[in-house]
Amino acid sequence: MIKVKVPTEKCLSNNSRIVSLLSQLEKINTDSSAVDIDNARFVTAKILHLAQTQEKTRKEMTAKGSTGVEVILCTLENTRDHQTILNIVNILNGLMSASGGRRINVLVSKGGTQILLQLLLSASKDSPPNEELMVVLHSLLAKIGPKDKKFGIKARVSGALNISLNLVKQNLQCPKLLLPCLQVLRVYCMNSVNAVYLGKNGAVELLFKIIGPFSKKNTSLMKVCLDTLAALLKSKTNARKAVDRGYVQGLLTIYLDWHRHDTRHRHMLIRKGILQCLKSITNIKLGRKAFIDANGMKILYNTSQDCQAVRTLDPLVNTSSLIMRKCFPKNRLPLPTIKSAFQFQLPIIPTSGPVAQIFSLPPEVDDVVDESDDNDDTEADTEAEAENEDDNDQLFKNDDIETDINKLKPVQELERTLEDLKIYERFFPELSDDFQDFDLVSNEPVPGANHGGPIVVPTAGEEMPYKPICIMKELSKKTSNISLEDECNKRPTFLDVSRKDSKKDLNNSFLQTQGEIDRSSCFYLNTDVVRDLDKLSLQKSSPNNHCKNGCVPTKDKPNALSNSCSKTAQNMSCGNHLFDKHSVNLGPLCCSGVFPDDDEDGSPLGGPGLSSVLDTENFSPLHDSDLYIEIVKNTKSVPEYSEVAYPDYFGHVPPFFKEPILERPYGVQRTKIAQDIERMIHPNDIVDRVVYDLDSPSCAIPDESEVLKFNSKFESGNLRKAIQIRKHEYDLILNSDINSNHYHQWFYFEVSGMKTGTAYRFNIINCEKSNSQFNYGMQPLMYSVQEALASRPWWIRVGTDICYYKNHFSRSSIATGGQKGKSYYTLTFTVSFLHKDDVCYFAYHYPYTYSTLKMHLQKLESLHNPQQIYFRHEVLCETLAGNGCPVVTITAMPESNYYEHVYQFRNRPYIFLTSRVHPGETNASWVMKGTLEFLMGNSPTAQNLRESYIFKIVPMLNPDGVINGNHRCSLSGEDLNRQWQNPNADLHPTIYHTKGLLQYLASFKRVPLVYCDYHGHSRKKNVFMYGCSIKETVWHTNSSAASCDIDEDGGYRTLPKVLSQIAPAFSMSSCSFVVEKSKESTARVVVWRELGVQRSYTMESTLCGCDQGKYKGLQIGTKELEEMGAKFCVGLLRLKRLTSPMEFSLPPSLLDIENDMIESSCKVASPTTYVLEDDEPRFLEEVDYSAESNDEADPDLPDTAVDFETPAVDEEGFSDSEVTRTSLKSAQSQKEC
């Protein structure tokens, strides 16, 4: 026998020794003589010893560039010697055990999986198989299997499945071999085809023989067996088999036994393994039924309650709650129909789409309870499907991004003829006024000025020589007498439907009342009277008024409270005639400003930081209660509302205190779910009494003092039904958008009859979105009438134990666009009231009604200085319900009526702003309010801004939706922000005519410099913008070469960058400039593509709060929203400076104070944090926030979202979280090519 020489020098390093041994082993592989068997045994034994004792040896063998693993595998593949094979398998097992993923990946990449599976096949042919080899080999396969994406397929093709399964069957009494075999079976079952195959061969029945009641023996085997069984039962076929065999009852019995005996909680993993098996079985409908029949709800409820006190048992509580929630029987909403409680007959019925489907459905068809298995795993029935199972990265491919560059390129073609567009000429009187009838300052033109050529202004259109349009032709004559087509103040008639004669001229009535205001001091109302107040109704005035504004002087009201107002009531109308039973006197509740001593946290338009800018002392508040009532009388609603909500009547003042984002209490969701489960376990404890119902006008208002009273029959109100569940708990159901069967999110309702010191729980049970900012610190809003009467008229954030989770109410597949098995979600919050028998209001966000907008516009029109400000408030068109859609023009008056000044006036670039296309996004209206008030201010900056631009504003694109309490749609039942490509004049008049205004400007090359549509975002924090960029869109498709070839002006980023520097709430990192297919019909994309406006934006404002900057950790309020609207104006002024280098320079002192003009306190506390979009912590229903949130795809249409379970959440939260895995959309800065 010839032995290979082995170096014997003691000074030889370990690395040199292993290299030498591997070299010898490689030589042995090349020599096939029989005498090499002993040498192979010797060398592999030495290598095994070094690998087991030296970490350096293990590193050397698996280091990058090392051939150690290849040599070992080559020897294993070629040798037939049992001892050598055993040595090599032990070497590999040691290498894989010492360190994790990288070494296993090396082994897999070298073809180790196939070699080991082939070895398993050959070793199984021995009779009997070598136990030691099988133990080590299965241990090794169990380690490398999870790292090899094709392991399941390789094992099935090689025939390894039967080998491992037969070994389990033959060695039930041999735990040493049984344990690694079960570990490998568990890995096999990761492939769904393998799981089905093993189930057909008796694996399920076999594993149920191994598991059993509590025992301290072989607990490791029990744990692995349960994990393997849970993996097997993920297959629907195996789950049905388990149900048929009666294993559900057996699992519950075993779990209860382990729960009772494991008093020291040392075997929590075994108990959790049993629950995982139940979780897999209950993924199918038969499993859920078997679970209910076996009294599983009560068993898991009781055991989970026992575990609540021990924090380490949270995984058991969470998994139990998950199973119980899943098995809770599906119910339909307690409604006669999921369609809206209100009906509106459309002038024409669409021939296709969701609205057409609703009108074509027979009664009661829309409420079918769907028992589909929404939690079922999809099984791969063929090997071809299994071959593609590793292509998970395709889930993250964003198919919504537009990739066709031809579609991305702007196509500036007018859909309507110039003749058709002439009807919009009347809405642009600024282009034809000569101001000869105005008493303007007669400033003569500068001597030597150029009188002939036009004034060049920056626009988003093509830069080409300017040709005056027809209405400017007379300007070519060198004369100051300019012929006019219309008088500047002439009001246009409506474009479609004429207003009724019965409508009053509210502006005249308002001006008359302005001079009649009594500014005497007022007294507050005794708050005890509130419980006796009737609703604010639209009745005639009472003859017992003490004064015209409803305020009572001191001498006329001796019984009033002793503390008088600290401020004089200015420009207020309290309207005590609105109360039938009592002649009440309201204090100064209608001011829109803040307290005079509130310096740092003052109103964005009322703080001392703006005293020199807006001259707030001379700027009267915009709220007038009497005027509001007069406007409401002319507002047309589908339900024909006759009541007014107190908050809209009193007005809202931003509170002086900060409202931080609420920290989520630990375990709040599982506690709420447990209380829901108690309804099924203890049904006798449930009241189940309807206390408010829009569908049943005969529903009596409860007389008992213990029952709350609800109301939503007022403008923008939304609450369809209230059901008392327990003494102090109520289920609330929201109304669908009119002519729709979904969109449940906006709520606004009244509650009265409460008691103090009592925690009331409210559950809104028909929410639709899979997640909400209510899971991340947002609170609902509440308005207290008694607080308002105590001079605290504000909406405040309230509520504790807030969470948002999936419930057991089933959604109709008709309402989900054909998707089956979807459930509604519950928003739950708890409130304790401060005052007994108060009248309180709850809202999703700060309400801003259509009547409020009209009131504000009339106040602005009456209060502005006509010598400085050119203000025109007109009605663009009438909505489907007959309400006017206002359009506002704001700019500076010309310096004089000389030709040069008028010509400069007409050539100012346009800024076109729109807002509130989605009624539930009330924050957009508050931002617009800030913009309007800033533009109408007396500051030098506002004046400079007016002198720079002409602002054309449509502040509310969806008046009907706002009035009737819709969340997203108009009365046509459609999302108006998806109608911009082809709006219908009959169904979408506001969009049709707003687009007409823009097309009219485009017809003579005066497209706006900036178009911005104000929106609200329900699932992201901060304020941010969406714009349009061809290059960034192509870049996000990973076509870097294509994006490099695109030449695009980057000016679309200028305004967002400016806002990120000056607006504390604005986040540049959240902005996106990607154009998506689902957004092709939105205002932003259509204005950019069809009209060529480069700076076309959607500005999204959070409904929750901020996670960066000065307001980090705070919930957003109306003060911050109005500030954002004002900051947007300042940003436009900076944009002018950046885009118009030929313009005169602004005064340095004015530029220096730009950043301080709106804020009343210091600069931004911290810089913007540049992070990816998915910046939220993980909770139960986690989502990856997509790029254009509330401008999301219509829920009627199936999306590409994939629901899956996140293993990391299993230990901390419920693992059935609906995680919407959408593609990561552009939230980071554009990479340069």
Catalytic machinery residues:
1100
Say how far apart CA 394 and CA 273 lie, in whole Å: 31
Burial (0-12, 13-18, 19+ Cβ within 10 Å), 1080: middle
On the question of a cis peptide bond just before residue 128, with omega within 30 degrees of 0, the verdict is: yes
Say how far apart CA 961 and CA 979 lie, in whole Å: 15
What residues have CB less than 8 Å from 371, skipping those under 6 apart?
285, 330, 810, 821
Say how far apart CA 480 and CA 395 lie, in whole Å: 67
Copy the structure tokens of residue 1207: 């293993």
**Secondary structure string (H, E, C) spanning 235-246:** CHHHHHHHHHCC
Residue 401 identity (one-letter amino acid): I
Copy the structure tokens of residue 498: 């004429």
Contact status, residue 828 vs residue 477, Cβ threshold 8 Å: no
Which residues on adjacent β-strands are paired with residue 890? 871, 951
- The H or E element containing residue 572 is none
Pick from 672, 688, 673: nearest CA to 730: 688
Contact status, residue 614 vs residue 1123, Cβ threshold 8 Å: no
Strand order in the sheet with 689-693: 689-693, 721-726, 729-733, 759-767, 823-832, 800-810
> What's the Rg (C-alpha) of the chain?
37
Locus of tokens 């597949």: 813
Strand order in the sheet with 781-784: 709-711, 748-752, 839-843, 781-784, 795-797
What residues have CB less than 8 Å from 253, skipping those under 6 apart?
213
1010-1017 vs 910-915, strand pairing mode? parallel
Residue 396 identity (one-letter amino acid): F
401 three-class SS: strand
Say how far apart CA 511 and CA 513 lie, in whole Å: 5
The number of residues in the chain equals 1233
Say how far apart CA 631 and CA 850 lie, in whole Å: 9
- The H or E element containing residue 761 is strand 759-767
CB atoms within 10 A of CB 587: 26
Copy the structure tokens of residue 171: 């060695």
Copy the structure tokens of residue 352: 């296709």
Say how far apart CA 493 and CA 884 lie, in whole Å: 11
Residue 720 identity (one-letter amino acid): R
- CA 909 → CA 737, 931, 1007, 1128, distances in Å? 38, 18, 8, 17
Say how far apart CA 523 and CA 790 lie, in whole Å: 10
Say how far apart CA 430 and CA 490 lie, in whole Å: 12
Contact status, residue 589 vs residue 793, Cβ threshold 8 Å: yes
HSE value, Cβ hemisphere, 13 Å, CA-based, for 135: 10
- CA 932 → CA 862, 888, 1101, 1119, distances in Å? 14, 9, 17, 14
| Dihedral angle, C-alpha 207, 212, 214, 219, nearest 10 ° | -30
